[in-house]
Amino acid sequence: MDVFELLLYLAIVLSVGYLFGKLAERFRIPEITGYLVVGVILGPSVLGVIGEEAISKFHIISNVVLGIIAYQIGTELWLPKLKKSGKMILTITTVQTVLTAVLVAGGVMLFDGRLWLALVLGGIAVATAPAPVMVMIKKLKAKGEIIDTVIPIVGIDDIFGVIIFALLSSVAIGLVNGGDLSLGASLIVSIEEVVLSIGVGVGFGGILGLASKYLIKHFDKQDKYVAYLTLSLSFIMASVWIAHTFHLSMILVPMAIGMTFTNMIPKETFKIQGSALSNFAGPLIILFFTIAGIELSLEVLMNAGLVAVIYIVLRAVGKIGGSYIGARMSHASKKVRNNVGLCLLPQSGVAIGMIVAVVAAFPGPEGQLVQTVVLAGILIFELTGPAIFKFTIEHAGESRVETQKPVFTEKRGVASQALQQQN
């Protein structure tokens, strides 16, 4: 496949994804769900318009967009604000990650009996996808204590996920291969990945902050807009390359860039750079989620079996129940207790990376089984997660977008833009 044929496929994915996203909005379904559904339709599972060769070429786009979203998470992590709720956030994150891992591992062990499988699935279940969460927040222009709690949890969740997965998968590998468990080595490797990822991100973010303070601040507003967009994208793309080349986290590196940068700039600069990147990212967001849908397989869902059902149900229980317990332990408000867990259900990018690691460790039927179960879970959580998030935020009163009328009512709402500017 040459580059011009790939451009044709990208044109199809972008235009059809956009149209289905707007159609979904008309029925009060999140645009993200529309992108995912049409992706499944275009992909090998249904029409086969986009084949496997084209899908393999799309990964670079998905990784860059994930980097942009991770960077945007980082820019929301303003330290003075986090200090007020840091203990609560850490408590909720810790309880929900540990409970999710324990419930999924225990449930799989009880019904299936294979300890290695229980441990691997328990480790993967912890991961939460930041992309759907951040896109829905911007789409709904959501603000409030739920959003202020969810954003840092989604960011910290990746750190917990890397460490828990490394430990549990190490034990699983030892059980299957009959070798040493190497728990210490696995813990060291996972901590190294986290520390190096954050360290590289802090370095890049510091450079970006200094450029803003001593160079860009002297530009006029329009030049600032272009400068922040150019430099932010350059640093994000470089961070994705570094993460890929040196096996670091493609979420933690750009997230650390955003967090460092946002704590070095004034509020006006925050608004300008956020607006620049958000407006540019709109079409990329459509590509990201439509491609994600193309990569989902309905056949996987059919073949997943009882283990997949256990994984899906107990992961949801762990995320929702763990967040509730953690919120009660930290004396969070009733609003936070009842809603935060419902916002943490989406799962995709990080979990897929974990699948790749498992398949590499178990190249035979064991790896295929894990891949089938987790991909089935991703399919369900990606299709339902955005809708649950939207309903939760609207019901809690933290959406700033006026509710749109369905297409069959007398008054028809006008679909909002794909990605709103940051307030």
What is the distance between the alpha carbons of residues 36 and 42, in angstroms, rounded to a whole number?
A: 10
Q: Taking the CB of residue 60, how many other CB atoms lie within 10 A of it?
A: 11
Q: Cα–chain-centroid distance for residue 405?
A: 29
Cα angle 171, 172, 176; round to 5? 120
**Whether 419 contacts 139, CB under 8 Å:** yes
Query: DSSP letters of 92-160?
Result: HHHHHHHHHHHHHHHHHHHHH--HHHHHHHHHHHT---HHHHHHHHHHHT--SHHHHHHHHHHHHHHHH
Handedness of CA 209, 213, 216, 220 (dihedral sign): positive
User: Of how many residues is the chain composed?
Assistant: 423
Residue 283 corresponds to which tokens in the numbers above? 């079409």
**Whether 304 contacts 373, CB under 8 Å:** yes
Cα angle 28, 130, 118; round to 5? 110
Maximum CA pair distance of the chain? 67
Domains of the chain and any CATH numbers:
3-122+135-395 (1.20.1530.20)
What is the distance between the alpha carbons of residues 41 and 294, in angstroms, rounded to a whole number?
A: 7
**Whether 257 contacts 208, CB under 8 Å:** yes
What is the pLDDT tens value at each position of the chain, 423 positions in all? 677 888 888 899 999 999 998 998 888 888 888 888 888 899 887 888 887 778 878 878 888 888 888 898 888 888 887 777 788 999 999 999 999 999 999 999 998 888 888 998 998 899 888 888 888 888 888 889 999 899 889 888 877 887 888 788 878 877 776 655 556 666 677 788 888 989 999 999 999 999 988 888 888 878 888 888 899 999 999 999 998 899 888 888 898 999 999 999 888 888 888 888 877 878 888 888 888 888 777 776 677 678 889 999 999 999 999 999 999 999 999 999 999 999 999 887 677 777 777 777 776 777 778 878 888 888 888 888 888 999 999 999 888 876 544 444 444 343 334 334 444
